[in-house]
Amino acid sequence: MITPNSNSLPVMEAFYTLQGEGYYQGRAAYFIRLGGCDVGCVWCDVKDSWDADKHPKLTIETIVEEALKYPGRLAVITGGEPLMHELDALTKALQQAGFETNIETSGSSKLSGNWNWICLSPKKFKAPLPAIVPLANELKVVVFNKHDFEWAETYANAVNENCKLYLQPEWDKAAEITPIIVAYIKANPKWSLCLQIHKYINVP
């Protein structure tokens, strides 16, 4: 955990858009992307988020004030790896302001914050903590090659029975991987396909 003061957090960017992935796909959402990540995915599309010191530290009051400028009341905390920061104060302030709080995390750092929805996206580069896995509402596995299916099943067997299961093609290999995922889901219908629709419709 790298935040010395939980009343301010390094914010790489914050923006109002549609949730492009997973269970809440298509819903208006305010994204808060925190700086800092120690997972190091080779195919990460936001590598600028990795160094927390590159990004301005904003007070929680400022973060919430900016979120309240928009009518949607779904806040998605992402990164980077947001759980590198202590998030209790942020989620409390957002919920007091009327927001649902969702997190997108690899689960590789200790859980903090009060969440309406936890999207766990485990990474081979740094495994999730065992304590977080059964708390996930949504398991989203990025598929880079055929070997990832077996790896995905190990987490499908570890989450709770109500957890939603998604397979998502790695964006740069989507043309190659998506048909393979479709075939896999047809044979294993507990899974659903997750596409990054924000990239197809060209929104943040």
The three-state secondary structure class of 122 is coil
Residues of the chain with pLDDT under 50: none
Instruction: Give per-residue pLDDT as tens, 102-121.
Output: 999 999 999 999 999 999 99
Say which residues have a Cβ less than 8 Å from residue 6's Cβ, sequence separation at least 6. 60, 85, 86, 87, 88, 89, 90
Which strand ranges, in their side-by-side order, compose the sheet holding 117-120?
Answer: 57-59, 8-18, 28-34, 74-78, 100-105, 117-120, 138-143, 164-169, 192-193
0.85 cut: is pTM over it? yes
Q: Domain 8-200 is classified in which CATH homologous superfamily?
A: Aldolase class I (3.20.20.70)
Instruction: Give per-residue pLDDT as tens, 40-62.
Output: 777 676 777 778 888 999 999 99
